[in-house]
């Protein structure tokens, strides 16, 4: 049996003349009624968990979703789970689940880029493909997956790369794990060994992301430092920042709060390449933590999980850098 857990998102939306735009309108049963062939793929159980647009998902809601998924995985009759989700935050929810909920049963996230009012509504096709993946023997052992536009991605490396086209999701530099082709699920590459999960009682936070730009200074870093327990800097290139941000970073270190350096660039790792003021090597030598290949939103989730586990700054450094 495959559990379909509906959380909202564009897949559940249709145009509302009063608001002038798309809003959540369809329940899980409504969506399946518009795509009855999906029920022929596997035995289905529907859970209507929420009607949240992607930007309305919070880390608290993501953590509550994790609890529901854990309960469903514990049921012996459940073979896999499909989660429909707003695409704006889908990658963050999927990554959080992948990093904190170990499973051999597939959890497959999917959604839609177009609403049910659009002629090009991609919801039924994406949902059907996700059910096929969740029901396939081949998907076992891959952990948390994302299926969009007949392509299967790992939740550990997928990101949304386009605002509107139906093939909006990619794993930059890696490509999809596999495809759904004429009803068949075909995996084309294996995953490296999955990192150990982080399983706190609750997420630690708040953790902010500060974006860099040419001429950026420390104002946002100082504002964040008042309440945040940690910060991720979306740096330039290999993790470098403008010189005017250095003093702000030093104030974070003085407060003994973790500063994680990621990159605003989609492909590649941050690294200790540049030693000029604001270069990642010099910042690392002063106490900043390098995020490796994690995108800023992924680094934020790992930092919240680490803080929730009670890790020290040295432990967090080991988590990110080793």
Residues with active-site annotation: 10
Q: Annotate 130-146 with DSSP letters as a single string.
A: HHHHHH-GGGTTS-EEE
**Interior CA angle at 91 toward 184 and 8, to 5°?**
85
Cβ atoms of 261 and 280 within 8 Å: the answer is: yes
Token pair for residue 214?
Answer: 């040419």
CA-CA distance, 39 to 212, in Å (whole number)?
47
Cβ atoms of 219 and 246 within 8 Å: the answer is: no
* Sheet (strand 178-181) strand order: 44-48, 2-6, 80-84, 107-110, 144-148, 151-154, 178-181, 184-187
Token pair for residue 228?
Answer: 């945040």
CA-CA distance, 77 to 238, in Å (whole number)?
47
């Amino acid at each position: 049996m495959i559990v379909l857990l509906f959380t909202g998102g564009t897949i559940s939306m249709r145009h509302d003349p009063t608001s002038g735009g798309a809003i959540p309108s369809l329940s899980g049963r409504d969506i399946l009624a518009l795509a009855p062939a999906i029920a022929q793929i596997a035995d289905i159980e529907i859970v209507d968990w929420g009607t949240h647009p992607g930007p309305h998902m919070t880390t608290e809601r993501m953590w509550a979703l994790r609890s529901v998924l854990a309960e469903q995985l514990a049921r012996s009759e459940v073979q896999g789970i499909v989660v429909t989700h707003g695409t704006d935050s889908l990658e963050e929810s999927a990554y959080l689940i992948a990093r904190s909920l170990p499973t051999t049963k597939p959890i497959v996230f999917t959604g839609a880029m177009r609403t049910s009012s659009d002629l090009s509504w991609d919801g039924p096709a994406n949902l059907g493909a996700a059910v096929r993946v969740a029901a396939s023997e081949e998907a076992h052992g891959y952990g948390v997956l994302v299926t969009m536009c007949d392509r299967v991605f790992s939740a550990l490396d997928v990101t949304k790369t386009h605002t509107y086209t139906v093939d909006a999701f990619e794993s930059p530099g890696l490509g999809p794990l596999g495809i759904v082709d004429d009803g068949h699920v075909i995996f084309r590459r294996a995953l490296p060994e999955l990192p150990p999960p982080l399983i706190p009682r609750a997420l630690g936070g708040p953790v902010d992301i500060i974006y860099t730009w040419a001429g950026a200074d420390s104002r946002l870093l100082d504002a964040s430092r008042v309440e945040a327990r940690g910060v991720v800097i979306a740096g330039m290139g290999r993790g470098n920042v403008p010189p005017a941000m250095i003093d702000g970073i030093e104030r974070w270190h003085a407060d003994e709060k973790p500063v994680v350096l990621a990159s605003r660039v989609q492909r590649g790792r941050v690294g200790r390449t540049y030693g000029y003021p604001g270069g990642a090597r010099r910042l690392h030598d002063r106490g900043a933590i390098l995020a490796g290949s994690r995108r800023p939103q992924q680094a934020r989730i790992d930092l919240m999980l680490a803080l929730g586990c009670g890790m020290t700054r040295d432990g967090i450094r080991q988590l990110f850098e080793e």
